[in-house]
Chains A and B, each alone.
Chain A
């Protein structure tokens, strides 16, 4: 997590009235994952996405946004030597997971600017990550 005092862009879909956090429907073709949880991918091109500038504005009650567009391609690679079964009754979920590393390519821009921001493939660091089969809520027993 970066410093919101120096943050200059924050592209995300916002919080729904239900509380659904930064989550939006994407096409089935935007997601690929193999059954063994070895690899996964999520990609979209030219997706409309507001820019909240920084996270403090994003979680405020009357955030200001700039229209923007994002393209991204995220690829996960699961740790072939690690597979964990987790059951957590307190938080109500269970599943089988592989810790993973991930790499992202993105291209983002504000609609009112000609500047395009692109990720560098070098020196990316996966802070944490995983691929999994999971069930929660009414599917958790």
Chain B
């Protein structure tokens, strides 16, 4: 979903990753963070279904590739399991997938109901089709990258 900010970043994602690494240092620590996120979400009605979904083994697996600490695309062991939303890159974020997808990075402006104004940058994607869940079973599903 939209990131709100007012100016463009010199250095881009590379700088973000550098700061994250300096802050937390290890990919393993970053991945363990996910458990905190799920816990944080579980108190919300609609997302608690997502938590149950994850626990069921029906959750898809991430793509093996992604971006490394220097913002370079790598086919394995990335810092984050995502690549740019552009034709030519792997735009899906789930693996063992066969289906349709759409992806886009969109920039624009937004306004708050209090009169405030912002710029936004939104990376939005979906994947719909057959996939193999973490439990090894073939399934059909629709997933949003939000």
Residues on A facing B (Cβ under 8 Å): 1-4, 6-28, 30-31, 33, 37, 40, 42, 44, 47-50, 54-56, 59-63, 65, 67, 70, 72, 74, 76, 84, 86, 88, 90-93, 97-104, 106, 108, 114-120, 122-139
Q: Are A120 and B44 in contact (CB under 8 A)?
A: no
Residues on B facing A (Cβ under 8 Å): 1-10, 12-13, 16-17, 19-20, 23-24, 29-38, 40-41, 44-47, 50, 53-54, 59-66, 73, 75, 80-114, 116, 118-124, 126-128, 130, 132, 134, 141-146
CA distance A100 to B105 in the complex (A): 11
Q: List chain B residues, Cβ under 8 A from A49.
A: 1, 146
CA distance A101 to B110 in the complex (A): 19
Of the residues B80, B86, B130, contact of A59 by C-beta under 8 Å: B80
Of the residues A72, A119, A139, contact of B108 by C-beta under 8 Å: A119
Q: List chain A residues, Cβ under 8 A from B47.
A: 13, 48
Q: What would 18 A/B residue contacts be, using CB atoms closer than 8 Å?
A: A2-B7, A3-B9, A7-B5, A9-B3, A13-B50, A17-B34, A19-B31, A26-B142, A37-B100, A48-B44, A61-B30, A86-B88, A104-B108, A116-B113, A129-B103, A136-B63, A138-B96, A139-B96
Q: Are B122 and A104 in contact (CB under 8 A)?
A: yes
CA distance A3 to B119 in the complex (A): 11
User: Smallest Cβ distance from A37 to chain B, in angstroms?
Assistant: 8
Q: A26-B143, A125-B107 are in contact. Are A115 and B112 (CB under 8 A)?
A: yes
Residue in A closest to B79 when the chains form the complex, CB atoms: A59
Of the residues A15, A114, A131, contact of B37 by C-beta under 8 Å: A15
Q: Are B104 and A102 in contact (CB under 8 A)?
A: yes
User: Smallest Cβ distance from A55 to chain B, in angstroms?
Assistant: 5
User: Smallest Cβ distance from B117 to chain A, in angstroms?
Assistant: 9
Q: Are B85 and A1 in contact (CB under 8 A)?
A: no
Q: Are A2 and B41 in contact (CB under 8 A)?
A: no
Q: List chain A residues, Cβ under 8 A from B124.
A: 42, 72, 74, 102, 104
